[in-house]
Amino acid sequence: MKTYTGQSLREMYLGFFKDRGHKVIPSASLIPENDPTVLFTTAGMHPLVPYLLGEKHPAGTRLTDVQKCVRTGDIEDVGDERHCTFFEMLGNWSLGDYFKKEMIPWSYEFLTGEKYLGIPSDKLAVTVFGGDDTLPRDDEAAALWEKAGIKKENIYFMPRENNWWGPAGLTGPCGTDTEMFVIRKPKCSPTCNPDCNCGAFLEIWNDVFMRFNKQADGSFTELSQKNVDTGMGLERALCVLNGKSSVYETDIFEGAIEKISALTGKKYGEDEETTKAFRVLLDHTRTATFMLGDEKGIVPSNTDQGYILRRIIRRAVRYGRKINLPEGSLAKISEAFIEYYQEVYPELKINREKIAEELNKEEAKFTKTLQQGLKEFEKCINGIERKNAFMAQSNPDYIPEKKIGGKQAFHLYDTYGFPVEITDEMAKERGFEVDLEGYKAAFEEHQNKSKAGSEQKFACGLADHKEATTALHTATHLLHAALKKVCSPDVQQKGSNITEERLRFDFNLPQPMTAEQIKAVEDMINEVIAQDIPVVMKELSLDEAKAEGFTGLFEGKYGEVVKTYTIGDFSKEICGGPHVESTGKLGKFKIQKEQSCGSGLRRIKAVLQ
């Protein structure tokens, strides 16, 4: 039996599709730029949405990559055998090029070929779309699988909830899919199928055949081109291919497991509680490492991506305490992941010091109040238990209360830094629940009082390509250039979000801007607007763009051929977004607010009037 490492699987996958005319493109940032409805890149297709919708990709119509992703909907499940918040997604795309009759035979060849994964064909099962009131079942996909070599009895027609891939957000490309499974053991019953939880079938790959675009009202329109979007989760695939029972038993986690053992004296697998603590530490430290090392500069905070980062760091600290992990250890565990990934994701090595500094800072901040917070939590539980005991004495029919009040949960968050999700998880461990609606009410009341709750929450990125957002996107180029000229040449964009009403721009600066600097930036931008300078786009190789002095905000997401935008001698940037034809179309630029959004980071909100 072959043994696979993360690196060998990456190289094999990319090589397979490179040999079939695909251009290898680098992973994009964890912060999506083209989907404001989600906080993180949750799938390989997120950075490619404009191209799936018909825009020309500089690298062509056949692409392949390994995309770093984060999914946070199942954080409380991390600690079991398979859940991870960070993962790598192997993928390939056809942008209006090939479709089912090419992709399905290629999928079969990669899965079964001796040069590749070498899985026996009788150990493979597939599912295809079974049809509904809106679309017929996918007999074409089923016939292609049978022709390739899959036994007819191992081809399953499944309902829409199993074989339809839709966008993580409100809108975007979507379509039917076909999923591939490794058969690990006999079926539990004659009706057992890949949707059964008995463990007979383990998913390894997914091919999505995109024909539709989901609209905000829930309707679907036909795309201008048919696309293929595939996804093979690296960690899950390694687990299946190496016959392991857990994703944490692959080479990815070996170094970090050894580090935790050395720091705690505990062994992974020695008992259930210890194993869960190891897994939470492994997953959350790895995710925090990638968030902190990302090119868009995520840091812990109380909003958006920063809140998720803070939550997983604090959950890691809490589980570390269960196995006597010394304070200041997360950065040491993180170092094991940086060593493992630094050749694949060099941004981790580049940001090594920042990663360690932020982990140590956040760990120290939480550790300082953790003991007091845990005491306060126990007081909540004990108070409820005393009330239950008293009421039961006077009323035999009394039903014990097992709920922590919303205001108590908010007090734990506001005073002791406990994200409500951690309070909720601790409560469940004790057989209690949290009044989450009451917590939300207390939180909103606090926000209203502080006048900080009226801002609409978005992820960084461009909401759409309407005229207003296109103008604001172009204005961010002018803002970036002006900040470099007025504040410091070291200013770099660390994130952005654009709606029809305003732009939000995050950048590095160690101190607040002065009133004079804010006015100087506004005046400089409005002068460029008044000159009505043409916005010139030109496609160049990445090396040519660098040589000509173009600023690559997030170069990792671009291919070897990039789009460059020049605005006179004022701004030269690599960018994939939409732009106006000339600056005169922008109107008057006005900064509404300049504020902190993290350690060493500032945020500007501005409008065009």
Overall size of the chain counted in residues: 609
CA 479/CA 496 separation, integer angstroms = 11
**Reported confidence tier of residue 34, pLDDT bands at 50, 70, 90:** low
CA 246/CA 81 separation, integer angstroms = 5
Average pLDDT, the chain: 88
Question: Residue 213 pLDDT more than 90?
Answer: no
CA 128/CA 150 separation, integer angstroms = 13
Output the six-digit token pair for 398. Answer: 């009394």
pLDDT at residue 591, as a whole number: 95
pLDDT at residue 537, as a whole number: 85
**Reported confidence tier of residue 459, pLDDT bands at 50, 70, 90:** very low
Dmax (CA) for the chain in angstroms is 83
Nearest partner of 266 among 308, 215, 198, 326, judged by Cα: 326
pLDDT at residue 560, as a whole number: 66
Question: Residue 556 pLDDT more than 80?
Answer: no
Question: Residue 447 pLDDT more than 70?
Answer: no
Q: How many helices (H) and strands (E) does the chain have?
A: 18, 20
The percent of residues above 90 in pLDDT, for the chain, comes to 56
CA 504/CA 526 separation, integer angstroms = 18
**Reported confidence tier of residue 495, pLDDT bands at 50, 70, 90:** confident
**Reported confidence tier of residue 372, pLDDT bands at 50, 70, 90:** confident
pLDDT tens-place string over residues 321-364 = 999 999 999 999 999 999 999 999 999 999 999 999 999 999 99
Q: Which helix (H) or strand (E) holds 280?
A: helix 272-293
Average pLDDT over residues 166-192: 86
Output the six-digit token pair for 88. Answer: 């790598």
**Reported confidence tier of residue 469, pLDDT bands at 50, 70, 90:** confident
- Please say whether the beta carbons of 167 and 214 come within 8 A: yes
This prediction's pTM: 0.72
- Please say whether the beta carbons of 404 and 433 come within 8 A: yes
Question: Residue 149 pLDDT more than 90?
Answer: yes
pLDDT at residue 449, as a whole number: 61
Average pLDDT over residues 361-378: 87
Task: Sort 98 into a burial class: Cβ within 10 Å, 0-12 / 13-18 / 19+.
Answer: middle
CA 477/CA 524 separation, integer angstroms = 13
**Reported confidence tier of residue 456, pLDDT bands at 50, 70, 90:** very low
Q: Is 228 helix (H, G, I), strand (E, B) or coil?
A: strand
Average pLDDT over residues 127-144: 93
pLDDT at residue 461, as a whole number: 38
Average pLDDT over residues 85-111: 96
Question: Residue 521 pLDDT more than 90?
Answer: yes
**Reported confidence tier of residue 170, pLDDT bands at 50, 70, 90:** low
Question: Residue 450 pLDDT more than 90?
Answer: no
Average pLDDT over residues 219-226: 88
Average pLDDT over residues 206-232: 90
pLDDT at residue 133, as a whole number: 86
pLDDT at residue 463, as a whole number: 40
pLDDT at residue 554, as a whole number: 43
Output the six-digit token pair for 390. Answer: 């008293």
Average pLDDT over residues 80-106: 94
Question: Residue 167 pLDDT more than 90?
Answer: no
pLDDT at residue 454, as a whole number: 31
Question: Residue 128 pLDDT more than 70?
Answer: yes
pLDDT at residue 576, as a whole number: 74
Average pLDDT over residues 64-83: 87
